[in-house]
Amino acid sequence: MTDPTEAELMTRAAWLYHVAGLNQEETARRLGLTRARVNRLLQQARDHGVVSISINDRDLGLLAEEETIRTRFGLEFCITTPALGLPDGGSDTALRMVGVAGARWLRDRLAATPDAVVGVGWGRTLAHLARQMTGAKAPGARFISLMGSLTANAAFNPFDVVQTLAQATGGAGYFLPVPFIANSAADRRMLLDQQAVAAPLALARRADVALISVGELDDGAILRRAGMIGLEDLASLRRAGAVGDTNGIFFDAAGLPVDHPLNRRTLAVGLADLAATETVLLSGGLGKIPATRALLASGAVRGLVIDGDSAIILAAGCAAKAG
C-alpha cells in the first residue's frame, strides 16, 4: 500500500478534525503524525479551499460595526449593545443598556485585577453602570473621582457614582474635595496647591482604568441643566469650536481642548493623563455621536462601549471616510 499523498493527508486531517470532532492531538495520533504537522495540514486545508467555513451572519450582531470602529480609531476593544431601531435611538434606554454593558466589562476587569485603581467620571450612563455592580466583590479596589464635585443637588454627581461603586464592591472610595469649576483660573491654581487635593488627584492620574462618558453641547446638555454653565457659556464654547466635553474638558472636532476660559477653570484629570491609562468611554444616545467621534479621534480612549444605533451610524461614517 502506497503512502498517502500530501493532499490526501490534508483531506483526512480536515475530516477527522472538522467532521469527526477529534481535537488536533487525537487527529495526530490517528494519522501517526505530529501535532505540529496536523496544525499545518489544517491550515493548508483552509487555504486551499478543502475546508470552507460558513457563518450565519444574522447571529453576528454588530460585530462588523465594532471591528470597523475599533480599527478606525485604534481601540483595544469596542462593545455594542443591540440596536433598537427607534426614531431617536431610544436615548434613555440606550443609556441604561450601555450602563449594563459597561458594568459587565468592569466586573470582568475587577475579577482579573481585584486591586485596580478605577478613575470615574460622571453622568447618567456611569450612574447606570454603578447601580449594576451590586454583588461584584473587589474589596481591594479603589475608586477615585476624575473631577471635582458638581452642585450639591445635581443628579449623577461623581461623588455619588464613586460611593455607589465602593459600596457595591466593598472597595474604597476617594474624592477630589473641590468644586467642578473654580471661580477663576487663580482659584484653580490655589486649590490644586492644597495637599488635600494634590494627593487624590495624583491617585486619579495614575488610575489603572478610567471610566468616562461624553456630553454634547446643546441646550439639553446636562451641564446646562445642572446650572454649571449658562447660555452665554454655551454660545462662546461653540464659537471656540467645542463639540462636546468629558469631565468638563471641552474639546473640538479633532478631540483637542479648546481655548476657552472654562477649560482654565475646570478641576479634572486632563486628556493627556487619560491617554496614559486604560480609558474606557461609555456613550449612549444618537445625540452624542459627534462628540463621541471627536473624543475617539483624540487618542485618549482605548475602549468604547456604545449603543447599537449610534454604532451603526458611527461605523458608516468611518467606512465613508475610508472610501
> Counting every residue, how long is the chain?
323
Q: What is the Cα–Cα distance from 167 to 191, expressed in whole angstroms?
A: 28
Q: What H or E segment, with its residue span, contains residue 305?
A: strand 303-306
How far apart are alpha carbons 246 and 272 in whole angstroms? 13
**The domain defined by 6-47 carries CATH number 1.10.10.1100:** no
Ranges of the chain with pLDDT below 70 = 1-2, 52-61, 87-90, 150-156, 319-320, 322-323
Task: Label residue 53 left, alpha or beta by phi (over 0 means left) and psi (-120 to 50 means alpha).
Answer: beta
Give the type of residue at 254: A
pLDDT in tens, 270-292: 999 999 999 999 999 999 999 99
Q: What is the structure's pLDDT at 70?
A: 95
CA distances from 222 to 40, 98, 254 (A): 57, 18, 22
* Closest by Cα among 270, 226, 275, 272 to 246: 270
Residue 239, burial from CB neighbour count under 10 angstroms (0-12, 13-18, 19+): exposed
DSSP state of 170: T
Distance from first CA to last CA of the chain, Å, rounded?
A: 57
Distance CA 283, CA 81 (A): 11
The residue ranges of every structural domain in the chain are 6-47, 61-322
Q: How far apart are CA 234 and CA 45, in angstroms?
A: 61
User: φ, ψ for residue 75 (rounded to 5)?
Assistant: -85, 155
Which pLDDT value is given to residue 182?
Answer: 87
pLDDT of residue 151: 56
pLDDT at 180: 81
Q: How far apart, in whole angstroms, are the C-alpha atoms of residue 312 and residue 85?
A: 10
**Torsion sign across C-alpha atoms 176, 180, 183, 184:** positive
3-state secondary structure of 200: helix
What distance in Å separates the CA atoms of residue 170 and residue 168, rounded to the nearest whole number? 6
User: What pLDDT, on the 0 to 100 scale, is given for residue 45?
Assistant: 87
* 3-class secondary-structure state, position 45: helix
- Is beta strand 215-216 parallel, antiparallel or unpaired with respect to 244-246? antiparallel
So what's the architecture of 61-322 in CATH? 3-Layer(aba) Sandwich (3.40)
Task: Return d(Cα 142, Cα 120) in angstroms, integer.
Answer: 10
pLDDT of 2 reads: 63
The alpha carbon of 229 is separated from its chain's Cα centroid by a whole number of angstroms, namely 26
3-state secondary structure of 50: coil
Per-residue pLDDT at 89: 55
Contact between residue 281 and residue 50 where contact means Cβ atoms under 8 Å apart: no
Residue pointed to by grid coordinates 454653565: 229
3-state class percentages of the chain: helix first, strand second, coil last, to nearest 5 = 50, 15, 35
As a whole number of angstroms, the distance between CA 183 and CA 197 comes to 16
CA distance 181 to 131: 26
